[in-house]
Structure 1
Amino acid sequence: MSRRKLELYENIFNRVGPGKSKVTIVEVAAFLHCSERHARTLLNQMTTLGWLTWSPTVGRGNKGILNCLLEPIQACHKEIDKANDNSNLDLVYKLVGFNGRDTAAGLWQYLSQAVTEKHNTILAPFHRCMKTLHPHFVTERTERHFISEIYQTLVEEKANKVAGNLAHFWESNHNHTVWAFYLRPETQFHDLSLLTADDVVASFKGLIHSAQWQRLYDHIEKVIAVSFDVVEIHLSTPDPFFTQLLCRAETAIMPKQFVFANESHFKAIGSGPFSLAVNSNKLVRLQRFSQYNRTSALIEKIEFWIHENWAERKKCYQNFFFLNDSLKVYETACDYVGSFYCLIANKQLQTKEVKQNLAAAFLGNQTQADTQYSVYTVSHENNRECREYAKQLFSYFGNSHAPQTLKMKEVKFGQFINGLDVSILGVRKEDNKYTSLFAFLKLYPHWASVLSFTQHDYLQKQIAAIRIEADVVRQQALISHVMAWLEQQHILFEIKREGLTLTVPEQIQGVEINANGWCNFSKLWIKPSKEKSGVTSSMESLIAKY
C-alpha cells in the first residue's frame, strides 16, 4: 500500500464527492492525470481495498457509476490499521502525511478515533522516544513509571505502607542491618525464564555500582543468595526503613545477563504485568503478560505514540490518553507530585537579598536586578517549566550585564553540574515524599563545594541520623528540619509545588492517578461506548483543547 494511491483516491473524491456519481473513464483519467488504461487499473485496486465501487458502461464515452464508499481520511485510517497490525510503523507515518498533511496532526487524529474502536488497547500521545528502559539508567518521570509496569521491585508502597511485590515476605535482624527477602515461587520473566535469587543479587550489584544511584545505596555491603528463592541484604549501618528505598524504580529486578549489558545488547525484560513488545522512535507498546505472578492486567495493550512536535504542547503537569473530541472526558489530579527548587551553589550569592531577588525573578518581577547580585551561570532541567524559570532569570538578570555573559545550561533530571551560580531542579515525590527528599540529599554530589566545611559536616551528620532513625515521625521531622535549614542558610528554596492532571475519556475505567502522573496500567479497562461516534472535528480544535 502506497501513500500515492491514497492521494489519487482523494483527487477522485474531491471531484465527485461521497456516494454515487456518473462519470466516464476519460474523466477519471483526467482526475488522476494518467491514461485510461491505468485509470481502470487504479479503480480496480481501490475497489479491492474497499474504498469505492466502479460499474463501467459498455461503449466509449458512456458514463459509468462511481461510488466513493469512504472519506479519504477513513481510507487512510483503514490502511494505517493494517500497517500497524503488521508493525510497519514507517508506513504509518507516511500514510498520515498524505497529500501534504501535517504528520503530527494526522497521527493525533488517527489515534483520537482509534480508542472508540479498539476495546483491548489504550492509546496515549508522547513527545520523545524512551530509549533503553534499564532501571539503573532512567530518571525521567514517565520512564520510571514504565519501569514499574515492566519490572517488579522486591516491595512496593501502597497507601503509605510497604507491601509485598516480588517478595511475599521479609524480615530483618534486631538492629536492621541484615534483611531477608522471600521471593514468590515460580516467578517468570517475560522470556519465560525463571526469576531466582541470583537475578536479585546481580540487579543489586549493578545498582550499588551505578554512578547515578550508588550514593543512595552506599550502605549495602553485600547481597547473598541464601537459596533459590531467598535473598539476604547486609548493610553497614542500621536502616529501619530500608524497605522504603526498595520501593523505588531503580531497585527493580532484571535477568542477571542484562544487568551490565551495553545498550546494543540490553533487553528490557522484567516480570511485571506488561512486557515491552515495541520500543521505537515512533511507538512504545506494552503487552499484557499472562504469566504475571499477581493479578493479570485487564487491558491487552497500552500504546504510546510518539511525535516530537507534541513537545511544544506538553506541560510537565499534564498527561492524557487519546480522546475522541465528541466523547465526554474527565480529569483526575494529584495536587502534589514534587517541587521545583532553586539551589544557590555560589557561596558568595548565599544571602537573603540574593534569595529574595531570585524568588522575585521566578514570580515574573520585571524590576532590573542590582549588579552586585548578578547571576552569571545557571543550569536548568530539560522540561518546559524549568526552561520558563530559566527565561525569567535571564530576563531579570540579563539587563544587569552583557547578555552573552549570562550562561544557561540544560541538563537531564538528576544531572548536576558543579561550579555554577544557580541550579533550577526538581525533587519528585514518587511513592513517598520523605524518601524522595532523603534521596535528593544523598544523591546531590556537590555539597562539599556548595557548603562551608562546618555546614557540610552538619549536613552529613543529619543525613546519618535520618538513616538510622527508627521512629517514622521523628525521621520525617529530621528530613523537614534539614530542608528548612538549607533554606535558612539561603542555599535551597522551593520555587513552586507541582501537581499533575490526567485527562481520560469516560470509557476508560480503573484510573487512579499516581505521583508519576500516570496510573496503574494493569487496572485499566475500556467500557464499550453505547453510541459509536465519528471523528468530525478539525485537528486544530483537538490540539487547542488539549
Structure 2
Amino acid sequence: MRQLNRLNQFTRLWQHSHGASQQTSVAEMAAHCFCSERHIRTLLKQWQEVGWLTWHASSGRGKRGTLRFLQTPDHLRSELLRQQLDNGQPQHALQLAQLAPEQLSHLLQPFMGGQWLNDMPTLRIPYYRPLDPLRPLRISGRAEQHLVRQIFAGLTRFDHDRVVADLAHHWVCNPQQTEWFFFLRPQLHWHNGEPLSALQLQQRLQHILDSPEGAKLLASVKTIELAHALCLRFTLHYPDQWLAHRLATGECLLPHPVDEEIGCGPYRLTSFSADLVRIESHGWYHRPHPLMQAIEYWITPQLFDSELGTSCRHPVQIAIGEPNELALLRPVSNSISLGFCYLAAHQRPGFNQAQARRIMMLIQQSGIIGQLPIDEGLITPTNEMLPDWPLPVWQAEASADLPAKLTLHYHLPVELHAMAQKLKELLAQHQCHLDVHFHAAKDWSDYHPLESADLIMGDRLIGEAPEFTLESWLRLDPIWPTLLSEPRYAALLQRLRVIQADAHETTRIQGLKNTFGQLMHDATILPLFNYRYQVSAPPGVEGIHLNALGWFDFTRAWIPPPVAIH
C-alpha cells in the first residue's frame, strides 16, 4: 500500500530528530530512510507537495540544507485512517494503524460509534478481545452468541421469551406429537444471492443431528426428511413439546451447506480477522430489513494477565461514542442478567452431601461475594436461580466437618478468579485446603481434568426462554454427567423426557423448577451472582435496547441521517 510505505518512510525521518528542524544532507536522510539518494529526493518532493514538510537544499554535492517538519506521523496516520474509513475501506485503515494495542485503541476512539459513511449508516464498536470463529454448533462467548444470531437463521427463532417462525412460515404436528411439519417461506435466499432450498436445510439439519452436540439437544428426533419442496418432516422417537424451542437455539442455526460463513440472517459477514469483524445488511432478508446497514467490531485488546487468557475482562457494560461525547453518554438500557456464575459440588466418597451443603452455607453467610475486588456495580449476589426459583436454606449441616483438602476447577470469566481466591481463604479458616486449577476457556468442552474436581465454578449464560435454556444446559453441559452418577444422570434424562411431553408450558416449567430445586437442595449446584448489564451511548445513536445476552439488537438500532431539520 503506497500511502502506508510513504508514511513509514516519513516516520523514520521524523523520529531521527523527533520532529525538530535541522540542518542535514540528502545522503544522511537517505541513510535514515534506508533508501537511495535518488529515491529520497523523490520522497522529499512528494512530501512538500502534500504539506508534510519543507526542504531547502543548498547548492553543491554533500552540502547541508534545512529540513522543517509541518506534520507529525501520528496526525498523518489519523488523517489517513479517517480517509480510509470514510471511503468504506476498514481493511486498508487497519494496515495504516500498525500500532501497539493501547496506541491503536487511542487512535480509533474518534471513529467509534454511529456514523454515516457513503450514505450507509454504520456502527463501530470497540471490542476488548479477538472473537472466536462464528460456528453455531460451537459457540460459547456472549459476543459470539449474539453475532451468530445476526448472521444465521433457523427454522424458528426466539422473540423475547416466545418461539416464533423464522425460515419456516409455520409448523404443525400430529395428535400423537411424534410428527412435526415445518412449512418454509417461499423465495428464501442465502447471503450470496443463491436461492435456498429445503433440501439444503435438510442436509444441514442432518449434519447437526449427527454431531455430538446435536445428538444431545435433538435426542427426541428420529429422522428429518424432505416432505415437499417447501416442507420438512421431523419424526420423533417420543413426544417433545420443546422441539420448536430447540430449533431456535444457536446450535440449530443453519449455515450454507458448502460455505459455513454464509447464512440467511439479517446481516452477512463481510470481514473476519483478529483485528476487524464487519457485517452488512442482507438485501435478500426475508423479514423487515435493519436500519443500521453495517456493524463493525474493532478489536483493540487491552493489557491483560496472560495466565487468565484473552477473556479476562467481562464487557457487561458497553460504551459507544467519541471522546468529545463521553460527557454526554447516558445509560440507554440496563438490566440484571438471568445468567449466573455458579458453584457445583462433585459429591463422592470423601466429600459427602453434608460437607457440600456446609460449603454453600459458608458462602451465603460469609458475604464473600460482596467482598470481591471487582468494579462496583458489575455483579450482584443472587438469592434465586431464576425469578421465583429460590435458593434452599440449609441448617442441619452447619457443624459438618470439612475434608482436609478439596480441589476446585473453574473457567472464565475473570470474576471467578477473584471468587476462587476468596473461597480458598474462607475454607482455610475451617481447616480445609483448597487446591485451585484455572481453565482458560469459556466452557468445559474437551476438558478432561474435570472428573478430578471436587468443586466446579463456571458461568451459565441464559438468553431468551430461560426455563428452556436451563433444560438444554442439563443435556449439553459436560458438568452434569460428571457431577451425577451414571444412574442419577440417566434418571435425570428420563425426568426431562416426561417433562417435555407435557402439552402445557406452565406444567413443563414447574417440572423444571422442581428438578433444579432438588439439585440445589442436594447441594449439587448453587448460583453465586448475576451481572449488571448496561449499554451507554451518545444522543446520536438510537433504538438501543438490551437483549437477554446483554447486547443490543442490531436490527433495531439506528442513527439519524446527517440532515439539518429546520
Q: TM-score range by the shorter chain?
A: 0.7 to 0.9
Matches within 5 A, 1:57-456: 68=70, 72-81=73-82, 85=89, 87-88=91-92, 91-94=95-98, 97=99, 103-115=100-112, 118-119=116-117, 120-258=121-259, 267-309=260-302, 315-316=313-314, 318-320=316-318, 322-327=320-325, 328-331=328-331, 332-347=333-348, 348-351=351-354, 352-359=357-364, 360=366, 362-363=368-369, 372-374=402-404, 376-397=406-427, 405-413=435-443, 415=445, 417-445=450-478, 447=480, 450-451=483-484, 455-456=488-489
Following TM superposition, by how much is the alpha carbon of 1:514 offset from its aligned partner in structure 2, in angstroms? 0.8
Following TM superposition, by how much is the alpha carbon of 1:8 offset from its aligned partner in structure 2, in angstroms? 3.5
Distance in structure 2 (CA, Å) of the matches to 1:287 and 1:444? 33
Structure 1 portions without partners, runs of 5+: 17-22, 98-102, 259-266, 532-546
Distance in structure 2 (CA, Å) of the matches to 1:211 and 1:147? 20
**1:503 pairs with 515, 531, 536, which one?**
536
Following TM superposition, by how much is the alpha carbon of 1:126 offset from its aligned partner in structure 2, in angstroms? 2.4
**Structure 1 residues 358 and 373 mapped into 2: Cα distance closer, same or farther (>3 Å)?**
farther
**Structure 1 residues 306 and 157 mapped into 2: Cα distance closer, same or farther (>3 Å)?**
same
Structure 2 portions without partners, runs of 5+: 306-310, 373-398
Q: Is the 8 A contact 2:406 2:432 kept in 1?
A: no
Following TM superposition, by how much is the alpha carbon of 1:270 offset from its aligned partner in structure 2, in angstroms? 0.3
Following TM superposition, by how much is the alpha carbon of 1:240 offset from its aligned partner in structure 2, in angstroms? 2.3
Q: Please tell me the residue identity of whatever aligns with 1:524.
A: A
**Residues 222-264 of structure 1, C-alpha deviations (whole Å, 9 max, x = no match):** 1111122211112222122321222211111122235xxxxxx
Q: Is the 8 A contact 2:115 2:559 kept in 1?
A: no
Q: Is the 8 A contact 2:544 2:557 kept in 1?
A: yes
Q: Please tell me the residue identity of whatever aligns with 1:508.
A: V
1:290 is paired with a residue whose SS is coil
Distance in structure 2 (CA, Å) of the matches to 1:130 and 1:288? 20
Aligned to 2:52: 52
Aligned to 1:476: 509
1:145 is paired with a residue whose SS is helix
2:555 is paired with a residue whose SS is helix
**Structure 1 residues 506 and 334 mapped into 2: Cα distance closer, same or farther (>3 Å)?**
same
Q: Is the 8 A contact 1:298 1:525 kept in 2?
A: yes
CA-atom RMSD in angstroms: 3.7
- Greater mean deviation of Cα atoms: 434-443 or 392-401: 392-401
Distance in structure 2 (CA, Å) of the matches to 1:406 and 1:414? 16
Aligned to 2:396: none
**2:492 pairs with 446, 453, 459, which one?**
459
**Structure 1 residues 322 and 138 mapped into 2: Cα distance closer, same or farther (>3 Å)?**
same
Following TM superposition, by how much is the alpha carbon of 1:169 offset from its aligned partner in structure 2, in angstroms? 1.7
Distance in structure 2 (CA, Å) of the matches to 1:62 and 1:257? 64
Distance in structure 1 (CA, Å) of the matches to 2:344 and 2:439? 14
**Structure 1 residues 28 and 81 mapped into 2: Cα distance closer, same or farther (>3 Å)?**
farther
Distance in structure 2 (CA, Å) of the matches to 1:436 and 1:146? 18
- The TM-score normalised by the length of structure 2 is 0.78
Following TM superposition, by how much is the alpha carbon of 1:323 offset from its aligned partner in structure 2, in angstroms? 2.3
Q: Please tell me the residue identity of whatever aligns with 1:330.
A: R
Aligned to 1:264: none
**Residues 295-346 of structure 1, C-alpha deviations (whole Å, 9 max, x = no match):** 2232232111224436669643524354212112222213224111111013
2:337 is paired with a residue whose SS is strand
Q: Is the 8 A contact 2:540 2:559 kept in 1?
A: yes
1:201 is paired with a residue whose SS is helix
Following TM superposition, by how much is the alpha carbon of 1:151 offset from its aligned partner in structure 2, in angstroms? 0.7
- Greater mean deviation of Cα atoms: 33-42 or 313-322: 33-42
Q: Percent identity?
A: 19
Aligned to 2:390: none
Q: Please tell me the residue identity of whatever aligns with 1:465.
A: V
How many equivalent residue pairs?
506
Aligned to 1:537: none
Q: Please tell me the residue identity of whatever aligns with 1:268.
A: E
Distance in structure 2 (CA, Å) of the matches to 1:170 and 1:253? 17
